[in-house]
Amino acid sequence: MSSTANPVLETASGDESGTGLLRRPWTRFALRRLVRLLVSVWVLVTASFAMIHLMPGDPVRAALGPTAPAALVEARRHALGLDEPLLVQYVHYLGGLFTGDLGTSLSAQLPVSDIVAQRLPATLTLTVLAFAAAVVIAVPLGVTMGVLTRGGRGRRTELAFTTTSVVLGTIPDFLIGVGLVAVFGVHLGWLPVAGNATPSAHILPVVAMAIGPAVILARILRVEMVGVLESDFIRTARAKRLPARTVYFRHALPNAVTAALTLSGLILSAMAVGTVLVENVFAWPGLGRTIVDSILTKDYPVAQAIVLVYGAGVLLVNSAVDVALALLDPRSMIRED
Amino acid sequence: MSDLRWQDVTVRYGRHVVVDRVDLTVPEGRIVGLVGESGSGKSTLARAAVGLAPVHGGTITLGGAPVPTSGRRRPLQMVFQDPYASLDPRMTVGDSVAEAMPPGRSRQQRRAEVERLLELVHVDPARARTRPGGLSGGQRQRVAIARALAARPRVVIADEITSALDVSIQGVVLNLLRELRRDLGLSILFISHNLAVVRYVASHVAVMRAGRIVEQGPTERVLGHPNHDYTRTLLAAVPGRRSQP
């Protein structure tokens, strides 16, 4: 008897397909990630809203200066809605976010969203180029070091690589930037040290941001490669007499990138935030420089909005890495159950 | 003739001699069992034949010519012990099998050959798109055998291929080896420490101890009437079996 002839079985079948959707690992994974992302966004938005209210004293008075007339301060407070009850301000803030209204700059008297839109591309360019450079350096370096030091070979090479990478990885990127400016900008005069007007102006800030993450990523990749190259399936590939490049890049590398990918997500997030210091070293006209300027001039709406943008960027990158990891290694999302 | 022959072969790692002047032949179309305790040098002897262990002395020939250790000709193929680790976890079963095929075939021909090989080892060809994680241990080991066969080898070396499998699955894999020998005329070196499975599949057997072959001959003779004390010790160690006088 077919199930379609029996209404009871039909109902059972329908229920099963409904719960069946929830039983699928991808559905459960997507739901978990969505809930986590929404909670994180809410925490981020609430924290950035609270920022202006947790400042000691009156932010408007601080922004306008101690000699500003009380009427002007009051008028500005009213214009910013800071004289309304906290809950009302919070609701207005959330409503503004949904319509792209991030408030008005205290110093420039321009919409904050315009300032962010104007400065964001420069920061994105710097971050993406630095991340791409880090990956381009790290992958061949990590794979080569893994191959050269597999199975206890090349002890001296391993020691030299580990020592160099530890030293380079622990120097903060802005210090590397200062060093690069001193050598290539001031001493040799080969490259411009400020702004982003020409392609050559991108080289020093990108290198300053990429060196540390590249060597850290290469170290992780080397360790993973050494482990993977000891695997039975690599021995099988060698027994098949596959060309070395096929063994390393088709079999070993895809199995070695999981840890590096997780780390690269963290690195990308850290790079985005790291632009704050590097942009100031290289006078880069991006969000990093703007947030420092806005803090110095006590322009809280701008600082608040940029914190929000950086936070959203970090959340977005982390979510993208989670999805990429699940695609690369579907077992990772099942292990979460 | 495509006998696989080790003649006076020595393998060393530093000063440690792992295989010591071994002579062994796998005749064409036969299954030869190689038994011995762990560390006796069985796997190293096999790996030396496929270029995975350094040969210090002696020769390894196939059909009278040295076994090629470079290039894409792969007349000798190995199947390894652990079916859970010997297949690339990120590659589909079909890709793993197809990768071992000699070059010069169209995509369609390769797909058809993958299906034929999977059928040959009694794995549903529809599983070609599955990754190894979706298969049982027995299925994975049969896929590993299909992968080895894809290279059109003259000899297959099966290195402890049933050790990691349940007893119920071991029989399926052993019967498959017997079928392949019978239907394809394949020569097989079957390495194991399990005398019962060697007796089941092999017509000849060699006993290895501390890097040397201590006894070899037809399976019934060696396991039924052993000449060497070590063979008798191995037989006595089989649970539920009384030692031979």
For A231-246, what is each residue's pLDDT tens digit? 888 988 887 778 888 8
Homologous superfamily of domain range A112-335: MetI-like (1.10.3720.10)
For A34-46, what is each residue's pLDDT tens digit? 898 899 999 999 9
Task: Report pLDDT for A214.
Answer: 93
Alpha carbons B161 and B82: distance in angstroms, whole number: 7
Average pLDDT, chain A: 83
Helix (H, G, I), strand (E, B) or coil at A268: helix
For A194-238, what is each residue's pLDDT tens digit? 878 888 889 999 999 999 999 999 999 999 999 999 888 898 888
For A283-297, what is each residue's pLDDT tens digit? 889 999 999 888 887
Contact residues, chain B, for A240 at CB < 8 Å: 74, 77, 99-100, 147, 151
For A256-271, what is each residue's pLDDT tens digit? 887 787 788 888 888 8
Q: What is the DSSP string of chain B?
A: ---EEEEEEEEEETTEEEEEEEEEEE-TT-EEEEE--TTSSHHHHHHHHTTSS-EEEEEEEETTEEPP-SSS---EEEE-S-TTTSS-TTS-HHHHHHHTSPS---HHHHHHHHHHHHHHTT--GGGGGS-GGGS-HHHHHHHHHHHHHHT--SEEEEESTTTTS-HHHHHHHHHHHHHHHHHH--EEEEEES-HHHHHHH-SEEEEEETTEEEEEEEHHHHHHS--SHHHHHHHHTSTT-PPP-
Helix and strand element counts for chain A (H, E)? 15, 0
8-state DSSP, A85: -
Alpha carbons B128 and B119: distance in angstroms, whole number: 11
Indicate if the pLDDT at residue A10 is higher than 60.
Answer: no
Task: Report pLDDT for A320.
Answer: 85
Indicate if the pLDDT at residue A104 is higher than 50.
Answer: yes
Helix (H, G, I), strand (E, B) or coil at A105: coil
The mean pLDDT of B56-85, rounded to a whole number, is 83
Candidates A231, A241, A254; nearest CB to B72? A241
B67–A contact, CB cutoff 8 A: no
Q: Is the ipTM of this complex over 0.85?
A: no
8-state DSSP, A240: T
A50: confidence class by pLDDT, cuts 50, 70, 90: confident
Indicate if the pLDDT at residue A249 is higher than 80.
Answer: yes
Task: Report pLDDT for A20.
Answer: 64
A236–B contact, CB cutoff 8 A: yes
Indicate if the pLDDT at residue B59 is higher than 90.
Answer: yes
> CB–CB of B52 and A331 under 8 A?
no
B245: confidence class by pLDDT, cuts 50, 70, 90: very low
Indicate if the pLDDT at residue B25 is higher than 90.
Answer: yes
B49–A contact, CB cutoff 8 A: no
For B87-137, what is each residue's pLDDT tens digit? 888 889 999 999 888 878 888 999 999 999 998 888 899 999 998 888 888
**What's this model's pTM, rounded to 2 decimal places?**
0.71
Closest to A299 (Cα-Cα) out of A63, A42, A89: A63
User: Domain extents for chain A?
Assistant: 112-335
